[in-house]
Amino acid sequence: MMKQAESLFLRSALLALAVLVIFSSAARAVNPLITGDLAELPEGTLIEEIVIVIAGAHAKQRVLTNLAADLIVLKQGHPLDRALLEESLDALALSTAFAEIRVQSTPTEKGHAITFTLEPLWLIRRIHVSGQFPLFEKEILNAMTVSTGDSLDMEMLQTQETLIEELYRREGFISPKVTITPRKDRDRSEMDLSIRIERGPFYAISPLTIRGNRAFGDSTLLYKMDTWWMSLMP
């Protein structure tokens, strides 16, 4: 009884998470690919079996399988309903958990089996940063919108580069250049990110000159000015 309650709680939590992701403004659609004879399969054909295949040895394979099962509203043992098929494909595409979605049907003894083959997005295993001085590595990681354990669409790499470059511009660097290189472990659908930072020249303040001062020594005034202290920095 306890195991059933835990299983129900897990599935409910996964479904709630999926709904939040679906309606998130950051959701990005993936175009599902329908193969085999599914496109011509008549409405009402018996769906004898629904199979979910997570491509590759993904570290979160069980979680992704449960997520997909909650998002697929087609019912095993029921007639094919194309509206429900489209709803299932839309939910999978908008979940942002899968980089590629393929669905096909194969004949069975009493009807057809429908197989959903899902290729997950890559997971970030480690992030290496080089060339970050004078900033700290933690400042670089805080500027990014992804971290270790997150899934990453390859198109998001350029966004992360831009975010880090903007951080350096705010710190006074003129033309920073950031390059992020992914190194993939295809056996586990994971990747390491190598971040190389070329900070470039820094905005500097020229030596200050005071004119018209007759009441105090110039050094006395300069000593009290934050701008003068900043001009001493290399």
Complete domains list, the chain, with CATH:
2-120 (3.10.20.310), 122-198 (3.10.20.310), 205-234 (no CATH)
What's the CA gap between 225 and 202, in Å, rounded?
21
Q: Is the pLDDT of residue 206 over 90?
A: no
Nearest alpha carbon to residue 169 among 137, 197, 129: 197
Q: Is the pLDDT of residue 168 over 90?
A: yes
What's the CA gap between 16 and 32, in Å, rounded?
23
What does the mean pLDDT of the chain come to? 82
More confident residue, 122 or 127: 127
What's the CA gap between 68 and 78, in Å, rounded?
18
What phi, psi does 10 have (nearest 5°)? -60, -45
